[in-house]
């Protein structure tokens, strides 16, 4: 399927000054723009050096032009790239010339959207393009590349074809016997459904890890004032990010830091000590601390080991959302002469000396179910995880129908819904509003 559109243009390089800036043109008039702007059409995929002219024939800049005739181009359409000097005014003049020659400004992500619509890539790959550009670590780059190369899509397609086979099987049976599955077929279908559920579980786990790598985990450091929360934050990020003093209530606002734990992005939040206070500034800090805790993935509850857990920690624990995992760390281990007998399920650390910090890092990875091996992962979004969960629910429902009602048409319908949900990942079946949502988050020129 090749669709034809109007011709779009945009500055593809980042705003600001640089050695080189690129204006990209895609669509049916790209060749004509090349002829007018360069005086002739460059040979396909060969650099042509020369002056760039505006619509009146005046020279704007000198540079290199590349022409990629469709369908073997990024968008699948005819594409022209004009590489000039990377100044904002030069780029504006060049873009203005393209617009005068009949192009319109591209929307954010429109080049990649066209690549998708022209079957140059599927939706998961298109999203990987944005993830690659936004990647915050080398591990995130590698996983986005793997998705872009189709690593994720291939796995989705494998399950999709298994689903198709199963549907054919079930629906053939539907044609045979009106109401019920024959017993021989039933055993086979059951086996196939179970293996589908297994495949889905494996893919979901990989996607979850990929999503964690892309979005990171939100970690809140909580505890009463002076327990050593800011010292622990500094120790984890390995620099003096937070102010540490012996005066309780020093951290009045939330302080954010980011760190990479073997490739896993951690968004750390140091909160104001959670305690009763009459100081309005401190009260506001405490309110913000609780707001952060509401959206956290994990809480690190820091306890001053020289004092042990008391009423304050009890109160904090009672107020924590029940779903939230908590790692309790007893800090100031360097000041203890012996470990307290009643503290089994906790980690002992010293933010001051660094003792116990590597154990804490391992505990964090374990609690977040992060394998610590980003190799082999592919980038995945919440949208993909939702689609996988929905697919699993429908396959599970097909299984239940098979066992409980044994009604073939209900099994068939659940499998159809499962296939529809899974197809959303690669965009084999995608609503227009979903496409709009995905591509609008891209940068212009991509």
- What's the closest the beta carbon of residue 350 comes to ligand GDP, in angstroms? 4
Q: How many residues bind ligand GDP (CB under 6 A)?
A: 21
From candidates 230, 379, 408, 426, binder to ligand GDP by CB under 6 A: 230
| Using rule CB under 6 A, residue 277 touches ligand GDP | no
- Report whether 378 contacts 210 (CB < 8 A): yes
Region binding ligand GDP by CB under 6 A among candidate stretches 127-135, 166-174, 200-208, 243-251:
243-251
Q: What is the DSSP letter of 14?
A: P
| Using rule CB under 6 A, residue 177 touches ligand GDP | no
- Report whether 306 contacts 285 (CB < 8 A): no
**Residue with structure tokens 């999503």?**
211
Closest-CA residue to 23 (of 12, 34, 31)? 12
CA distance 224 to 273: 5
Q: Is 389 helix (H, G, I), strand (E, B) or coil?
A: helix
From candidates 227, 303, 364, 402, binder to ligand GDP by CB under 6 A: 227
Comparing CB distances to ligand GDP, the nearer of 124 and 301 is 301
| Binding residues among 189-208 for ligand GDP as defined by CB under 6 A | none
Q: From its phi and psi, is residue 173 left (phi > 0), alpha (psi between -120 and 50) or beta?
A: alpha
- What's the closest the beta carbon of residue 289 comes to ligand GDP, in angstroms? 11
- What's the closest the beta carbon of residue 151 comes to ligand GDP, in angstroms? 43
CA distance 327 to 74: 47
- Report whether 126 contacts 87 (CB < 8 A): no
| DSSP annotation string for 39-105 | SSPPPBT--EEEEEE-TTS-EEEEEEEEEE-TTSSSSSS-EEEEEEEE-HHHHHHHHHHHHHTT-EE
Comparing CB distances to ligand GDP, the nearer of 229 and 392 is 229
| Binding residues among 328-387 for ligand GDP as defined by CB under 6 A | 331-332, 334-335, 350-352
Cα 288 → chain centroid:
26
- What's the closest the beta carbon of residue 299 comes to ligand GDP, in angstroms? 14
- What's the closest the beta carbon of residue 354 comes to ligand GDP, in angstroms? 9
- What's the closest the beta carbon of residue 270 comes to ligand GDP, in angstroms? 7
Comparing CB distances to ligand GDP, the nearer of 251 and 426 is 251
Give the dihedral of Cα atoms 140, 144, 149, 153; nearest 10 deg: 120
From candidates 114, 229, 384, 392, binder to ligand GDP by CB under 6 A: 229
Comparing CB distances to ligand GDP, the nearer of 185 and 237 is 237
Phi, psi of 304 (to 5 degrees): -75, 110
From candidates 226, 277, 399, 401, binder to ligand GDP by CB under 6 A: 226
Comparing CB distances to ligand GDP, the nearer of 238 and 386 is 238
- What's the closest the beta carbon of residue 304 comes to ligand GDP, in angstroms? 8
Comparing CB distances to ligand GDP, the nearer of 37 and 364 is 364
Q: What is the DSSP letter of 118?
A: T
Comparing CB distances to ligand GDP, the nearer of 2 and 335 is 335
| Using rule CB under 6 A, residue 246 touches ligand GDP | yes
Bridge partner list, 66: 81
Exposure string (b/e) for 90-127, b if CB count within 10 Å is 16 or more?
A: bbebbbebbeebbbeebebbbbbbbbbbbebbbbbbbb
Helix (H) / strand (E) element for 331: namely: strand 326-331
- What's the closest the beta carbon of residue 75 comes to ligand GDP, in angstroms? 52
| DSSP annotation string for 147-163 | HHTTHHHHHHHHHHHHH
Comparing CB distances to ligand GDP, the nearer of 24 and 235 is 235
Comparing CB distances to ligand GDP, the nearer of 232 and 418 is 232
Comparing CB distances to ligand GDP, the nearer of 22 and 221 is 221
Q: Is 303 helix (H, G, I), strand (E, B) or coil?
A: strand
Comparing CB distances to ligand GDP, the nearer of 21 and 225 is 225
Region binding ligand GDP by CB under 6 A among candidate stretches 119-127, 186-194, 226-234, 387-395:
226-234
Region binding ligand GDP by CB under 6 A among candidate stretches 38-46, 96-104, 123-131, 220-228:
220-228
| Using rule CB under 6 A, residue 316 touches ligand GDP | no
Which residues contribute to the site for ligand GDP (CB under 6 A)? 223, 225-231, 244-246, 250-251, 273, 331-332, 334-335, 350-352
């Amino acid at each position: 399927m090749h669709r034809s559109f109007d011709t779009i243009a945009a500055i593809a390089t980042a705003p600001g000054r640089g050695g080189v800036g690129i204006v990209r043109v895609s669509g049916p008039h790209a060749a004509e723009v090349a002829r007018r702007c360069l005086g002739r059409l460059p040979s396909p995929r060969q650099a042509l050096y020369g002056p760039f002219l505006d619509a009146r024939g005046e020279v704007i800049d000198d540079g290199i032009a590349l022409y990629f005739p469709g369908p073997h181009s990024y968008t699948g359409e005819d594409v022209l790239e004009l590489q000039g000097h990377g100044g904002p005014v030069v780029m504006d003049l060049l873009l203005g010339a393209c617009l005068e020659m009949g192009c319109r400004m591209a929307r954010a992500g429109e080049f990649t959207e066209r690549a998708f619509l022209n079957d140059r890539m599927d939706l998961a790959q298109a999203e990987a393009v944005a993830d690659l550009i936004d990647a915050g670590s080398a591990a995130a780059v590698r996983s986005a590349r793997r998705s872009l190369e189709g690593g994720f899509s291939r796995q989705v397609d494998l399950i999709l074809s298994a689903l198709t086979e199963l549907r054919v099987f079930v629906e053939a049976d539907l044609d045979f016997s009106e109401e019920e599955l024959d017993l021989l077929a039933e055993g086979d279908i059951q086996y196939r459904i179970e293996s589908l559920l297994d495949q889905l579980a494996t893919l979901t786990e990989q996607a979850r890890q990929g999503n964690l790598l892309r979005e990171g985990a939100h970690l809140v450091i909580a505890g009463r004032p002076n327990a050593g929360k800011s010292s622990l934050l500094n120790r984890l990020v390995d620099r003096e990010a937070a102010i540490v003093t012996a005066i309780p209530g020093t951290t009045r606002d939330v302080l954010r830091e980011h760190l990479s734990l073997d490739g896993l992005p951690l968004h750390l939040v140091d909160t104001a000590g959670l305690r009763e206070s009459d100081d309005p500034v401190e009260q506001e800090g405490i309110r913000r601390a609780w707001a952060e805790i509401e959206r956290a993935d994990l809480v690190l509850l820091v306890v001053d080991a020289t004092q042990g857990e008391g009423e304050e920690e009890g109160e904090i624990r009672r107020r924590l959302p029940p779903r939230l995992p908590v790692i309790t760390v007893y800090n100031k281990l360097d000041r203890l002469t012996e470990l307290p007998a009643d503290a089994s399920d906790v980690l002992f650390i010293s933010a001051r000396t660094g003792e116990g910090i590597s154990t804490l890092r391992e505990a964090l990875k374990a609690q977040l179910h992060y394998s610590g091996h980003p190799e082999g992962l592919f980038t995945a979004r919440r949208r993909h995880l939702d689609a996988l969960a929905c697919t699993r629910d429908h396959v599970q429902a097909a299984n239940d129908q098979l066992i409980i009602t044994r009604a073939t048409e209900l099994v068939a319908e659940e499998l159809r819904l499962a296939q529809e949900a899974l197809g959303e990942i690669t965009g084999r079946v995608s609503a227009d509003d979903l496409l709009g949502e995905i591509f609008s988050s891209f940068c212009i020129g991509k």
